[in-house]
Structure 1
Amino acid sequence: MPSEIQLGSHTIRSHGYQVARFHMHDWLILLLLVVIEVVLNVIEPFHRFVGEDMMTDLKYPLQDNTIPFWAVPIIAIILPFIVIVVFYFIRRDVYDLHQAALGLLFSVLISGVLTDAIKDAVGRPRPDFFWRCFPDGKGVFHNVTGDVMCTGVSSIIKEGHKSFPSGHTSWSFAGLGFLAWYLSGKIKVFDRRGHVAKLCIVFAPLLIAALVGVSRVDDYWHHWQDVFAGGLLGLTVASFCYLQFFPPPYDLDGWAPHAYFNMMAESQNDNVSSTNNRNVRESELGSV
């Protein structure tokens, strides 16, 4: 493809500052999303009414996470970013590196904000809520309303009201879903040559995200509906964020971001303008 000729001439050193400065407002929005995410995790979620007869489905054992909280950013952000960096060293295109990193972070942070906002608003009890609320196994309920009167640790009880949707799942599908889109464009999955092996590469990140979601049900931290909603939310946001920065993978230009082609078009226009100006000046000198 003709536009691939200039690959390697736009590195972090030569064009990195220029690209980052052009998207300065996007990085500021990312910082705002981080602040909102912190606030949503600090505030108290809605405490939904939980009666004694509702405890039947909330008495699953309280156990540790198979995939701890600190591992989620590694799976959803660092792993995709490593792949993005590898492609940068292959192509030496700072436009691709910057737009992919920006899209990945937006995908994960938007999913995180939406997930935690819904968590706090819904306040659905987790499957292990009984043991969070009553660590001694002795249920206490209000003699008038019949609502639970928890005797456990407040921080553990607070987490017990954040079942819907699954944060592990939404983050994983946001980051790894973006990676699946990214790989689709880079390895040209839809080149109409019928290489099904390429699809296996694209489905691998989605399989990892799905296994993260399954672990949340197996650990009794989430109901299956929480995981399904989290996966759908994360994958939807990832799709929107990818298509904001890149053409669809089935497009002929699906291998590079929109910013790269915009830069190419502007460079060609500048070259045409400078050539025309030079021709005009030469003709004027000839007339003189």
Structure 2
Amino acid sequence: MPLFGRSRVDGAEAGPTTTGTRRSRRDRHANGHANDSMAYPMATRPSFGQWLKVTWGDILTMILLGALGLGVYEAPPAPTRSFAVTFSDGEVVNPEFALPLRKEIIPIWLAAFLAAVVPIVIILIMQIRVRSFWDVNNGIIGLLYSLITAAVFQVFLKCLIGGLRPHFLDVCKPDFSLASNAPGVEGSGYNGAGYTGIYFTKEICTGDEKEINDSLESFPSGHSTAAFAGFIYLAIYLNAKLKAFSNYHPAMWKLVAIYTPVLGATLIAGALTIDEFHNWYDVVAGAIIGSVMAFSAYRMCYASIWDWRWNHVPLHRGQPCMYTYEGAELMDAVFTRRAGWGPGAGTSNWHHGGPATSGHAGAGGFARKPVGSGTARRGDDMV
């Protein structure tokens, strides 16, 4: 099948039918025609133009989402949030918001950089054995799905819901004489409001406006969202390629490998409670958002998340995965070589024990033995 070519049946041209109307896509599919714009083999590396033809929609969506997210990120917080400062005797009402402003242990740019670059590097390292362009493509595209959608999701929450950072009062530097309902000050507002009149709005703040706005957008944690969106995605990818949770007993280092990214994400998130930039619930919310996006993005690009028979298989753009071994592409796109997994694994006895015509060819040209034969089986044949 030519790359992105139109399929033909019995040499017929894809044009108007005898009735003068073009067949519907459903009719053509029912008669064995492939989707014209998505007819590409995943075992072949495409040209840049062919790849762009398949991917341009995602690229455009990512650019638009990135621009939208940046615009919302730069916008001031939308709600007028009230906060208590002190009681009449001078005691701070909420000391958890009166912590000192400290330097971030891990700045947001570094958290986002690590969450993107580390998984990309690991995906490329996996290609030492996987050697598949489309695995790299699906792996990195899925990672970007996760990171970008999670980032846009959380900046909307920050802007429209927000919350007080632990160092809010230190940044605000409140001056009650600036309250809109103070003597000699015109206007009205939610200052001196609430029970015993101890609640105010940011009108009384005298600190740096940019820092004040930032300290009103604590929920959810952007660091945690980015870290979990990137590193949880990497953990899922490693599990699929290493077959850590599979149909055999793997080595312990594989368990360590898939949970190291989880540890990294947790350390980045936990650092935010040490440098007092976030409350614990901000971190938990960011972790949940990032993890949900990671699972969703991986499943969009690969045939499964937990089913060990298929979770390593990159999905085609226009052709469904039929979840059968015959005709499935990239069934050997794994890193491990244990228990019959990987290219050529479990086939040496077959090649030496009988003619190649006795079996059937799998994806990538590696011979497969029929399920139920008495010879050794491949890992993905053992269902």
Q: Note whether the superposition's TM-score is higher than 0.5.
A: yes
The answer as to 2:132 corresponding to 1:75 is no
TM-score normalised by the chain length of structure 2: 0.62
- Which of 256, 276, 279 in structure 2 is aligned with 1:200? 256
Task: Work out which of the residue numbers 75, 82, 104 in structure 1 matches 2:143.
Answer: 104
1:252–1:266 CA distance, 2 compared to 1 (3 A):
closer
Q: Distance in 2 between matches of 1:19 and 1:248?
A: 25
- Gap runs ≥5 in structure 1: 1-6, 268-288
Supply the AA of the counterpart residue of 2:316: A
Identity %: 26
Structure number with greater Rg is 2
Question: Structure 1 residue 93 and structure 2 residue 148: aligned?
Answer: no
> Does the aligned pair in 2 maintain the 1:59–1:128 contact within 8 Å?
yes
Aligned match of 1:251: 308
Q: Per-residue displacement from partner, 1:162-217 (whole Å, max 9, x unpaired)?
A: 11010000100000011011101110112232224322211110110001111011
Q: Distance in 2 between matches of 1:65 and 1:99?
A: 34
Contact 1:47-1:161 within 8 A present in 2 as well: no
Aligned counterparts of 2:48 and 2:237: Cα–Cα separation in 1: 20
Which has the larger share of helix? 1
Q: 1:252 to 1:130 in 2, by over 3 A?
A: same
Shift in alpha-carbon separation, 1:266–1:176, aligned structure 2, 3 A: closer
Q: TM (normalized to structure 1)?
A: 0.82
Q: Hey, what's the Cα distance between the residues in 1 that align with 2:320 and 2:104? A: 45
Q: What per-residue deviation string (whole Å, max 9, x for no partner) do you get for residues 25-81 of structure 1? A: 111111111011111111111341112244432101100100012211221101111
Look up the equivalent residue of 1:175 and give its one-letter code.
G
Query: Higher relative contact order by CA 8 Å / sep ≥ 6: 1 or 2?
Result: 1
Kept after mapping to 1: 8 A contact 2:108/2:222? no
What residue in structure 2 maps to residue 278 of structure 1?
A: none
Q: Which runs of 5+ in 2 are unaligned?
A: 1-40, 87-92, 182-190, 193-199, 330-383
Determine if contact 1:33/1:113 at 8 Å carries over to the other structure.
yes
Cα distance, 1:15–1:252 mapped onto 2, change above 3 Å: farther
Q: Which of residues 115, 132, 155 is equivalent to 1:116?
A: 155
Task: Let me know the Cα RMSD of the aligned residues.
Answer: 2.5
Does the 8 Å contact 1:140/1:150 carry over to 2? no
Separation of aligned partners in 1, 2:216 and 2:223: 15
- SS where residue 251 of structure 1 aligns? coil
1 CA distance for matches of 2:176 and 2:172?
8
Counterpart of 1:103 in 2: which secondary structure? helix
Give the distance between the partners of 1:120 and 1:214, measured in 2 at CA: 23
Query: Is 1:152 the equivalent of 2:181?
Result: no
Q: CA deviation at 1:100?
A: 0.9
CA distances 1:71-122 after superposition (whole Å, capped 9, x unpaired):
1122110111111122234322111111111110110011101111001111
**1:139–1:224 Cα change, 3 Å:** farther
Q: Is 1:33–2:65 an aligned residue pair?
A: yes
